[in-house]
Copies of this chain bind each other. A is one copy, B any other.
Amino acid sequence: MRLLVVRSLLPVFALAISCSSAGSQVAYDSLAQEMLSFGLRKGEAYALLTELTTIAGHRLSGSRGAEIAVDLTKTMMEQRGFDNVHLEPVMVPHWVRGPVEEVMVIDGSGGVEESLTICALGGSIGTPEEGIEAPVVEVQNFDDLRELGSAARGKIIFMNRGFDHGHLNAFAAYGGAVDQRSRGAIEAAKAGAVGVLVRSMTHAVDDVPHTGAMNYEDGTTKIPAAAISTLDADRLSGLLKERSQVRVRLRLSARTLEDVQSYNVIGQLTGSEFPDEIIVVGGHLDSWDKGTGAHDDGAGCMQAIEAVNLLKRIGLKPKRTIRAVMFMNEENGVRGGNGYPLDSRRKGEAHVAALESDRGGFAPRGISVHADSSVLERVRRWQPLFELLNAGRIEPGYGGVDIAPLVRQGVPGFGLVVETHRYFDYHHSDNDTIEKVNPRELQMGAIVEALLCYLISEEGL
């Protein structure tokens, strides 16, 4: 028997439900409070993330680190008594950076004047061993690039449009600049350029280059592409203003190898009443090969495990199955996210909801809802409960890359919304390491996820 009591929407709120098994009334607000205090006192999210980032290290698809992470997260789930812990195979791309990545500014007599801090963009081809040497031309966007006309030919194009700092949401700044990284090599090649340098995608002004996915297009020449640190982007831009010409030599040893066998890692708390109705909570297990992917997305993976772990430790028996999924290969292929709905194990399963955390392990602010308005309204009824966790912003928005294939099949998608200001200081760079993660902020994300999963499990959508 279900008993819903909504006393008042604001500011006092209680939603009570009879627990037939216990024969007692358990108010969700008490439960949220219990998840909060128990989770903050005894939660394991930070310990798990420390383990992941120190034992596996970075986890680029196809790497040894990714392989270790698959075994490690499987063990984490098994040790915590998750049900049906298993691997689901997916083939993943295997791009390697190799040992060489450098940009040298060449002086008038062909000597090296100085070096600039860069790293290859993920997916880039390498250069010949001796590198490619060419004059640099700076542009801010693809219109600039097209206007160059034949002046782009044989050049290294320097895409130097920075973040617009005026956006409150850091992802909006990223979204306004990232075309340079994702399509820069394609557009530069079309203009006849021989290489591309892209200003790092970050709010920070520092000497750390930020990698990330770049693309090639069939029928367009593949040219090497690298990210340059924001400090050295400013340096290079300054040199270009001072001089009639700046020549650089770009050397990259990056290359793409054969696809590799890898896995999504899955474990769950099986539903007591509707075991085949599934609520997915996940993150992506792979990372870039800079730093150790602590925020992106070790945080989201460990929060998913911790969310299920927390429900178990509190002794809850959810009606529906709550399933932690470590998706493989979000960064450069989404093979895990695409593969999950296609796996034969999905037969006979109905997915009720999918929740992803992939915005860093920062203080949660709320939940984005990628579903129709009835689902949004449903979840908004629970807003006061999330407000107890300081995470009451429930708004329409994107769920996550890995759950998008489920959402496209009509499954309601949810994203953990967090404080975004610091994210791009770390993202895809050597800065993304465990000490940038605050244990309490990380844990709070897991608590919010646990609460959402449990509410959906008990109340449906």
Contacts and interface: CB of A to CB of B under 8 A. Distances in A.
Interface of A: 36-38, 40-41, 164-168, 170, 203, 363, 365, 389-390, 393, 419, 421-422, 425, 438-441, 444
Contacts of A36: 166, 168
A203 B166 contact: no
Copies of this polypeptide in the complex? 2
Contacts of A365: 390
Nearest to A425: B438
| Nearest 5 interchain pairs by C-beta | A37-B166, A421-B440, A41-B166, A363-B419, A41-B165
Given A41-B165, A166-B41, A363 B421 contact: yes
Contacts of A38: 166
Contacts of A441: 419, 421-422
A390 B40 contact: no
Contacts of A439: 203
Nearest to A166: B37
Given A203-B439, A363-B363, 7 more contacts: A36-B168, A37-B167, A41-B164, A165-B440, A363-B421, A365-B390, A422-B438
Contacts of A168: 36, 40, 389-390, 444
A422 B363 CA distance: 10
A1 to B, nearest CB: 32
A383 B385 CA distance: 19
A390 B164 CA distance: 18
Contact of A438 (B40, B165, B421, B444): B421
A203 B441 CA distance: 12
A291 to B, nearest CB: 17
Contacts of A37: 166-167
A444 to B, nearest CB: 7
Contacts of A422: 438, 440-441
A37 B164 CA distance: 9
Nearest to A170: B440
Contacts of A203: 439-440
A40 B389 contact: no
A444 B438 CA distance: 20
A147 to B, nearest CB: 26
Nearest to A205: B439
